[in-house]
Chains A and B, each alone.
Chain A
Amino acid sequence: MFHIYCPHCGEYREEEEFHPAGQAHIARPLDPEACSDKEWGEYLFFRKNPRGLHHELWVHAAGCRKFFNMTRDTQTYEIKEVYKIGEQPSVVAE
Chain B
Amino acid sequence: MSDNVAVEEQAPAPATVAIMDQRPGPEIAGESPLHHADLDSLAKQGKRQGGVHLRENKLLGHLTLRCNQSNSEQLAAVVRVLDVALPLQPLTSVEKGDVSIRWMSPDEWLIIVPGEKAFEVESRFRDEMEGHYSLVNSSGGSTVLELSGNNVVDMLKKSTPIDLHPKEFPVGKVVSTVFAKSTAIIRRTGDKRFELVIRRSFADYVWLWIQDASREYGLVVDA
Chain A positions near chain B (C-beta within 8 angstroms)? 8-11, 13-14, 16-17, 25, 27-28, 30, 62-66, 85-86, 88
Contact = CB atoms under 8 A, between A and B. Distances in A.
Nearest to B175: A63
A11 B3 CA distance: 25
B3 A65 contact: no
Contacts of A27: 1-4
A62 B106 contact: no
B177 interface: yes
A13 B1 contact: no
Contacts of B104: 64
B91 A28 contact: no
A30 B2 CA distance: 12
Contacts of A85: 3, 5
B2 to A, nearest CB: 6
B190 interface: no
A9 B3 contact: no
B88 to A, nearest CB: 12
A88 B3 CA distance: 9
B105 interface: yes
A13 B106 contact: no
A14 B177 CA distance: 10
A88 B1 contact: yes
B46 interface: no
A27 B104 CA distance: 28
B183 interface: yes
Contacts of A14: 161, 178
Given A8-B106, A9-B175, A64-B90, 12 more contacts: A13-B162, A16-B178, A17-B177, A17-B178, A25-B1, A27-B1, A28-B4, A30-B4, A62-B176, A65-B176, A85-B5, A86-B5
Contacts of B161: 13-14, 16-17
A10 B2 contact: no
